Amino acid sequence: MPELPDITIYIEALEQRIKGRELERLQLMSPFLLRTATPPLASIEGKKVLEIRRLGKRICLGFEDKLWLVLHLMIAGRLHWKTGLPLADARRPSKFKSQLALFRFDNGVLSLTEAGTQRRASLHLMNGEEGLRSLDPGGVELFTRRKRAINAGLGEFIDLESFTRVLKSENHTLKRALTDPHLFSGIGNAYSDEILWQAQLSPVKLTHKLSDEEIARLHAGTRDSLVEWVERLRAEAGEGFPEKVTAFRNGMATRGRYKEPCPRCGTRIQRIRYAANETNYCPTCQTGGRLLADRALSRLLREDWPRSVDELG
């Protein structure tokens, strides 16, 4: 699922292409994409995009007449930009696979696709700031925009006191706390793994058991990881549109690197899986050499389940 760094780069690319432009036509290919009935979707055709912002993991396009088109890509939704392409050609499956919607502007076509058969991406058309706020899960924004652009243009990072207050407002595991949209805005499974590796903290440690020094490490690790990946993705996209949005990227320390050596200590990266999610971690750097129990596999193996790095052989 695209997270804060990916959404940031998407928004920067969209600002360069469609801000101030008129939406000539919007066409839906999937009836399941649109989740609102009023205002009618056709009401934004012929209107200009005045503002683009992020709301958690959502992309919000602000149109004239205070209308907001809110797009949530979920796990497999992706955006594409094409210029000099007739609308009839843009609709062809050979051009865009698994296409859900087309947004025609005078300078190009924005396409929304979603891989796989499950249709989880969503589109809402909301009226005014109040309507937009109704979609906000309420998690604190980690970066506050200021006149002076700092931290890769993201703004000023949340101060340690505020970060601590949010973190300790619920007694969750660190993995859950970081990915809870009601606590922190924009962090998901991929970057939470990178943050916890950076901070050298176990994903299953409880927030109420953290020392002040550990919270300070987590605060710094969250800032450094997100800024680093915004800068990396920005450099990767360059002047082009970001077409390689994925949860598994070269250069990540733990995500997608199961059984590969930890960049810091060389220990093989481990993972635990639950439902459709997974957590990747270094047992030496993060859990004091202890292997975390995978719910399904550890129950199956029981006594044969390794308890430490040494037992991996």
Q: Return the pLDDT at 148.
A: 47
Encode pLDDT of 260-309 as tens digits: 999 999 999 999 987 668 899 999 999 999 998 765 544 443 444 345 44
Of 112, 57, 58, nearest to 82 by C-alpha is 112
**DSSP-assigned letters across all residues of 237-253:** HTTS------S--TT-S
User: What pTM was computed for the model?
Assistant: 0.89
CATH topology (fold) of 4-136: N-terminal domain of MutM-like DNA repair proteins (3.20.190)
Inform me whether the pLDDT recorded for 250 exceeds 80.
yes
Encode pLDDT of 34-66 as tens digits: 999 999 999 999 999 999 999 999 999 999 999
Residue with tokens 């750097």: 285
> Other C-beta atoms within 10 Å of 251: how many?
11
Q: Return the pLDDT at 47.
A: 98
Residue 279 to residues 174, 257, 308, Cα–Cα distance (Å): 11, 11, 17
Q: Return the pLDDT at 305.
A: 39
Is the CATH number 1.20.140.10 carried by domain 144-312? no
**And the tokens for 33?**
């994409």
Q: At what angle do helices 212-237 and 4-18 cross, to 10 degrees?
A: 40
Q: Return the pLDDT at 302.
A: 44
Mean pLDDT of the chain: 88
Encode pLDDT of 120-171 as tens digits: 899 999 999 999 999 999 999 999 865 445 566 788 999 999 999 999 999 9
Encode pLDDT of 192-230 as tens digits: 999 999 999 999 999 999 999 999 999 999 999 999 999
Position with higher pLDDT, 93 vs 289: 289
Domain 4-136 and domain 144-312, same fold? Reply is: no
Amino acid identity, position 43: S
Q: Return the pLDDT at 311.
A: 40
Q: Residue ranges of the domains in the chain?
A: 4-136, 144-312
Residue 213 to residues 120, 178, 199, 285, Cα–Cα distance (Å): 39, 18, 10, 16
For the chain, percent of residues with pLDDT exceeding 70: 86
Residue with tokens 């980690």: 142
Q: Return the pLDDT at 43.
A: 96
Q: Return the pLDDT at 309.
A: 45
